[in-house]
Every structure is written in C-alpha cells, then in structure tokens.
Structure 1
Amino acid sequence: MRITLATPADLDQLLAFREEAASWISALGSDQWSRPYPADRLLATIEADTVFMLREGGHTVGTITLTSEAEEGLWSEGELAEPSMFVNKLTVSRDYAGRDLGGRLLDWAGDRAYRSGAKWLRLDAWTTNQRLQRYYLDQGFQHMRTVLEGTAVNGGPRVSGWLAQRPARLADHGFADETPSPEPLRA
C-alpha cells in the first residue's frame, strides 16, 4: 500500500468515505459526522496539501489529514507553543476494516510529524464517541482534557473537544510513502 497526496480529483471519494463512515458510526449509536461536510472546505484542505490518501492498486483504502494548524479554541497557549501536528478526518474504507490500517496511518502521521520537527501528534475527537476515544487510547494517545465550552458553527455546543496527544516518533508503518518530504515546522 502507498500513501499519496490527495488531489482535487479525490474530492468525490473523500466525500463518499465520510458518508460511509457516518452511516457506520450511526449504526453504532453515535451522531458523529451526521452533518454533510462542506465540499468547498474539504477542497481547500486538499489544495493546502494536508490530505493524504492510502491506496492499494487502483483502490483508495483510507485517508488522513495532517496539519500544523490546530482547531481554534481547543489547545492552550502553552500547548500551541510546543511543535505539534494535528490529525483530522482519519477514515478507512469499511471494505478494509480490521487490518489495523487506521493504526498504521497514525504511525505514519507520527513519523511525518517527527520528521518535520514536531514533539507531539495531537487530535480532537468527537466528545460523545467513547468507542473512538478508546481506540485512540489503545493507539497510545493520552487524553489531555475535554473542551465543552465554545460553540460549533451551528451555534450548538462543541462536539469534537476530546483532546489527546502522543509523542511524535519515527515508525515502521509499512507503507510506501510517495509524498514529498515534510516541511520543517515554523518556530
């Protein structure tokens, strides 16, 4: 399997992944990702070269977004002063579930973060999705806190405020990385 940068041609696949994941998560009893993700926002992240695709042959198997930009209002000034990279929208096709591809993508992200000079690989997860939170804990992340205050775009409470981190580190993820070398983080 290989990792590539996403291109605008991947937009429909990424939106389909999101819908597939939302349907699966809903069947498990969570409202995570129940609102459609705006295609223009997703396209902007693709064009910023922060969306990566996991491919096997001609199939797209999964995706992960990795950025140096933190979600506003979640991390403290002190935490933001530490060099970090942030994981978003980790998704693996249900056809490939059960192969630890999500864990390996997290290892890849931690490796890339480390090579860019990050100390931490961080994420925010759905506040009420305890199954997802357990998954990240099992992947070596440490829960930092849950942010409930603040508002989401629609005026409701923050829905993705469960914060976790693990050290960025070199990893043998087993993927062929076809992406450009990571840029060093800005101080």
Structure 2
Amino acid sequence: MIIESATADDVAKLLAFREEAAAWLSELGSDQWRRPYPADRLLATIDAGTVFMVRDGAVTAATITLTPDAEAGLWSGEELAEPSIFVNKLTVARTHAGLDLGGRLLDWAGDRAYRSGASWLRLDAWTTNAELQQYYLRHGFEHVRTVTEGGAVNGGPRVSGWLAQRPARLDAAHGLTDRVPLPTSIKLPDISQ
C-alpha cells in the first residue's frame, strides 16, 4: 500500500469515507460525524497539503489529516509551545477494517511528526466514543484530559475533546510506501495573543 498527498480529485471519495464511517458509527450507537462535512473546508485542507490517502492498488483504503495547528480551546498555551503534529479525520474504509491500517497510519504520522521536528503526535477524539479512546490507548497514546466545555457552537458542550498524545518517533515499520515529500520543520503557533 502507498500513501500520498490527496488531490482535489479525492474530495468525493473523502466525503463518501466520512458518510460510510458515520453510518458504521451510528450502527455502534455513536453520534460521531453525523453532521456532513463541508466540501469547501475539505478542499481547503487538501490545498494546504495536510490530507493524505492510502491506496491499495486502485482502491483508496484510508485517509488521515495531519496539521501543526490545534483546534482552538483544547490545548494549553504551555502544550502549544511544544512542537506537535495533530491527527485529524483518520478514517479506514470498511473494506480494510480489521487489518490495523489505522495503527500503521498512526505510526507513519508519528514518524512524519518526528522528521518535521515535533516532540508530540496529538489528537482529540469524540468524548462519548469510549471504544475509539481505547483504540488510541492501545496504540501508545496517553490520555491528557477531556475538555467538555467551549464547543464550536455558542460555547456549548464540546463533542470532540478527549485529548491524547504520544511522543513522535522514527518508525519505518509502518510498511507503507511513502510517496509524500519529507516534511519541513514545523513552526510553532503564536500563542501570545
């Protein structure tokens, strides 16, 4: 399997991935990702070069978004001063479920984070999805805290505020053929404002 940068041609596939994942999560009793994701926001992240696709031959098997930018209101100023890469929208096609492709992608992300100068690979997960939280714990992440206040809509409850991190590290054992250019050093966000 190869990993490469997403292109504008991948928007429809990425939206379908999200719908497939939302339907699967709903069957499990989770309300995660029920709201449709705006295609224009997705295209903006692709244009920024932060979205990556795993291809298994002609089939798209998974996707991950990596960014040096954290969602506002989750991480402390002290944490944001530490060089970090944040995992978003990790999704594996149901056709490739059960193969630990998500774990391999997390290892690839940790390797990429390390090569860009980051100390941490961080993420926020759905606060009510205990199974997903356990998945991340099994893959070496440590729970930092759960942020429940200050959601995006009118400061209401936050739905994706379970914070976790693991050290960034070299890890070529992910087994993915990497066709993504090596990252440049990350720039720390300006937290003085």
| Native 8 Å contact 1:26 1:32 kept in 2 | yes
1:108 and 1:154 map into 2 onto residues whose CA distance is 36
Supply the distance in 1 between the matched residues of 2:112 and 2:52 (Cα, whole angstroms). Answer: 12
Letter in 2 for 1:175: L
- Residue equivalent to 2:102: 102
Give me the TM-score of the superposition, normalised by structure 1: 0.98
CA distance in 1 between partners of 2:160 and 2:99 (Å)? 26
Give the superposition deviation at 1:84. Answer: 0.3
Residue in 1 that maps onto 2:91: 91
CA–CA separation in structure 2 for the residues paired with 1:36 and 1:88: 16
- Quick one: distance in 2 between partners of 1:186 and 1:154? 30
Q: Distance in 2 between matches of 1:60 and 1:41?
A: 21
Alignment correspondent of 1:175 = 176
Between 1:146-155 and 1:87-96, the stretch displaced more is 146-155
1:133 maps to amino acid: Q
How far has the Cα of 1:154 moved from its partner?
6.5
Deviations 1:60-90 (A, max 9, x none): 0000000000111100000000000000000
Q: Does 1:29 align with 2:29?
A: yes
Q: Which moved more, 1:100-109 or 1:155-164?
A: 155-164
Retained in 2: the 8 A contact 1:152–1:159? no
* Contact 2:123-2:163 within 8 A present in 1 as well: yes
Q: Distance in 2 between matches of 1:155 and 1:117?
A: 33
Indicate yes or no: 2:59 matched with 1:59.
yes
Offset at 1:155?
5.6
Gaps of 5+ in 2: 189-193
1:104-131 Cα shifts (integer Å, max 9, x gaps)? 0000000000000000000000011001
Alignment of 1:3-152 (within 5 A): 3-152=3-152
What one-letter code is carried by the residue in structure 1 that aligns with 2:143? H
Count of residue pairs brought into register by the alignment: 187
Aligned residue for 1:37, secondary structure, equals coil
Deviation at 1:139, TM superposition (A): 0.5
Could you tell me how far apart the structure 1 residues matched to 2:56 and 2:89 are? 19
Query: AA paired with 2:176?
Result: F
Question: Does structure 1 conserve the Cα–Cα contact (< 8 Å) formed by 2:151 and 2:157?
Answer: yes
Whichever residue aligns with residue 183 of structure 1, its letter is T
Structure 1 position 157, deviation (Å) = 1.2
Instruction: Tell me, in whole angstroms, the C-alpha distance in 2 between the residues paired with 1:73 and 1:155.
Output: 10
Alpha-carbon offset, residue 178 of structure 1: 0.2
3-state secondary structure, aligned to 2:12:
helix
- Aligned partner of 1:87: which letter? V
* Contact 2:83–2:120 (8 Å) recurs in 1: yes
Q: Distance in 2 between matches of 1:83 and 1:137?
A: 21
Structure 1 match to 2:185: 184
Q: Is the 8 A contact 1:2 1:177 kept in 2?
A: yes
Which one-letter code corresponds to 2:35 in the other structure? R
